[in-house]
A and B are shown apart, each in its own frame.
Chain A
Amino acid sequence: MQIVVPIKQVPETDQVRMDPETGTMIRRGLSAIINPLDLYALETALQIKETRGASIIAISMGPRLAEKALREAIALGCDQGVLLTDGRFAGSDTWATAYTLAQAIRKLGPVDLVICGERATDGDTGQVGPGIASFLDLPLATYVDRLQGFEDGGLHIRRMVENGSEVVWTSLPAVLTVVKDIAHPRFPTLRQKLWAKQSEIKTWDMDDLDIDETNLGLNGSPTRVVKIEKSKLSRQGELIQAFTPEDIDRAADRIISYLHEHHFID
């Protein structure tokens, strides 16, 4: 079985604090990591590899430095890493990104499953996985939280939806986007890390792919960012200390009056 896992490198935000003056993220000392939600896609692929046998290709589009994310994926147990890097890819929105990844996946040859994280923690759109499925004209199951078994040349999966979950069967090849509940991501062993350091990362630019340049990068992207503003973090709210019994009582009363003022209670 051939599995492709598209991954994205994102800024590490785990220990971030906000700057109270400007309301922005303090990025100092942040390193780049694999999008945390992509680790669940990798783990899902690795578990299939262990139970049924599979070859896993991790693929990423980004700057040359994104090679590090692919090495991490190999350290976890992926068989191969492919980096799509080219100045002409820069500025791609989700449409153009999905197009580029889809063309690269085509070049990899027959694939049984493409497994994506639900979304990236920086862009936060969740549109690239479904976009890849659409470009490849494959069935798509999103928000997958369990694989229920391979059968009839396909796969039963459970997906998390509003107020419950649903079970669907999909033929293969297919594209899945998975949520956190699906698995616990593993850590690489030292030996795997060393192995990953030496493995070769395949690097493709635009000329390696069968690509229509008008669909690429900023020019190929239907959307444009026209304005970016800091969101107002600070609300300058009212702060009440509640450590003595009287103050605790007063604090509870203030919450209740607030709820009244804003019509949450009668």
Chain B
Amino acid sequence: MTWKDIWTLAEVKDGNLHEVSFELLAWGRTLADDRDCRLCSVVLSDEIADSELEHLFGYGADIIYVLKDPALAHFLVEPYARALVHLVQSYQPEVILAAATTTGRTLMPYVAVKVHAGLTADCTGLEIDLDTGNLLQTRPAIGGNIMATIKTPEARPQMATVRPKSARSLPFDADRTGEMVVVDPPNDLATDRMRFERFIPDATEEAAIEESDVIVSGGYGMQNLANFQWLARLAKVLDGSVGVSRAAVERGWKPYPRQIGLSGKTVAPKLYIACGISGAVQHLAGMQTSENIIAINLDSNAQIFQVADLGIVGDLFDVLPALVYKLEKQREAAPL
């Protein structure tokens, strides 16, 4: 048997597929077409309806491997890893892609060790070498200052994680169909070494920064917590969320889950607006691969301007209110 096909790992919560499952199919579709092989979506869950699963066909999957077991009700690494290892050994994929979510970043390294596979984290580019089937995986390293291309010359499968939101899902095609393969779970899935107890949702209604297409970010230059109202208002008209630099977390203006940078989160939204952030290398590492970057800062020598597509040198508290009033006025005037 040879290693073949491109796999993507779907994520399920409460019986529903997470958007990232479809984004992964967009990455995988290109690779599968180049390689002339099948694109397979793997679903591990306790319970999920066929009608929900079939969305994966519409977004590009040729095959769905679904393995259901009560032990997979919540993410616990051991049952999930056993299930995935079982699938890998049964069907031998050439490539497995997962999202760089807390689940993907936990499961993939655990499984890569068990199946002796190469794994590359947080890829921003993926290509397949048609002669060898080697996956060329490009990722930022050393705080985003270099781009490294990594391959796995011999070991199979080749495993990689990609950040959520790093690709758009393909347009949904309701007529697309495929083959659904229901896989019997191996009988040793359950673990008594770990148990899920409860989920506590974030108190805030703001979207998580890693799931936002638009991030409005504030740093030391914001001066105090009250000034963050401007960022919240700007984020609101742009349907984005608010992030912060380390300086702002250290002053207690926003909690750590909103910190962007080397010791916080790495984000790559479609639009990043940096307000009062000087652009220390640590911060740049967390956001410099954003598609569009706008920076507002008082200091014309601030490093943030080196990565900005549009830079405004001026007082934040002049520019932000002017901008926010104009945008809010436009939105009021525009019929929804």
Residues of A near any B CB (own CB < 8 A):
13-14, 16-18, 20, 23-25, 36-37, 93-95, 98-99, 121-131, 133-135, 139-143, 156, 158-171, 174, 179-181, 221-231, 233-235, 237-243, 247-249, 251-256, 258-259, 262, 264-266
Contacts and interface: CB of A to CB of B under 8 A. Distances in A.
B81 A25 contact: no
B150 interface: yes
Given A166-B74, A235-B293, A238-B311, 7 more contacts: A16-B281, A122-B141, A127-B109, A134-B109, A135-B113, A237-B307, A254-B310
8 contacts: A18-B145, A24-B145, A37-B263, A130-B109, A159-B102, A167-B200, A237-B308, A264-B270
B269 to A, nearest CB: 11
Contact of B200 (A165, A225, A239, A243): A165
B262 interface: yes
A62 B140 CA distance: 22
B319 A18 contact: no
Interface of B: 74, 76-78, 81, 101-103, 105-106, 108-114, 116-122, 136, 140-155, 191-202, 208, 210-211, 214, 237-238, 255-257, 259, 262-264, 266, 270-271, 280-282, 284, 288-289, 292-294, 300, 303, 305-315, 318-319, 322-323, 326-327, 330, 334
A224 B152 contact: yes
Contacts of B155: 222
A134 B81 contact: yes
A128 to B, nearest CB: 8
A90 to B, nearest CB: 17
A131 B313 contact: no
Given A18-B303, A226-B136, A264-B271, A242 B318 contact: yes
Contacts of A158: 200
B312 A251 contact: yes
A249 B306 contact: no
For the complex of A and B, 9 pairs with smallest distance between CB atoms:
A242-B314, A222-B118, A134-B113, A222-B155, A130-B109, A227-B149, A223-B118, A252-B322, A127-B109
A180 B263 contact: yes
Contact of A125 (B122, B308, B334): B122
B334 A266 contact: yes
A42 B23 CA distance: 37
Nearest to A229: B147
Contact of A225 (B105, B150, B210): B150
Contacts of A143: 102, 106
Contact of A222 (B81, B117, B136): B117
B323 A255 contact: yes
A196 B68 CA distance: 53
B310 A237 contact: yes
B293 A252 contact: no
A151 to B, nearest CB: 11
Contact of A265 (B289, B293, B327): B327
Nearest to A127: B109
A162 B118 contact: no
A122 B143 contact: yes
A16 B279 CA distance: 11
Contact of A256 (B151, B154, B289, B323): B323
B289 to A, nearest CB: 8
Given A240-B312, A255-B312, A93 B118 contact: yes
A127 B121 contact: yes
A130 B106 contact: yes
Contacts of A265: 237-238, 327, 330
Nearest to B331: A265
A166 B199 contact: yes
Contact of A228 (B102, B147, B323): B147
B311 A239 contact: yes
A227 B148 contact: yes
Nearest to B140: A231
A10 to B, nearest CB: 10
Given A124-B143, A134-B113, A181 B256 contact: yes
A170 B195 CA distance: 7
A255 B307 contact: no
A262 B334 CA distance: 18
A128 B113 CA distance: 10
Nearest to B280: A16
Nearest to A128: B109
B148 to A, nearest CB: 5
A98 B113 contact: yes
B199 A124 contact: no
Query: Which has the most chain B C-beta neighbours within 10 Å: A23, A125, A139, A238?
Result: A125
A254 B108 CA distance: 44
A235 B155 CA distance: 38
Contact of A130 (B74, B110, B118): B110
Contacts of B208: 162-163
A237 B290 CA distance: 14
Contacts of A252: 319, 322-323, 326
Given A124-B121, A139-B194, A169-B194, A248 B110 contact: no
B76 A168 contact: yes
B256 A237 contact: no
Contact of A126 (B103, B121, B237, B281): B121
A197 to B, nearest CB: 28
A135 B112 CA distance: 10
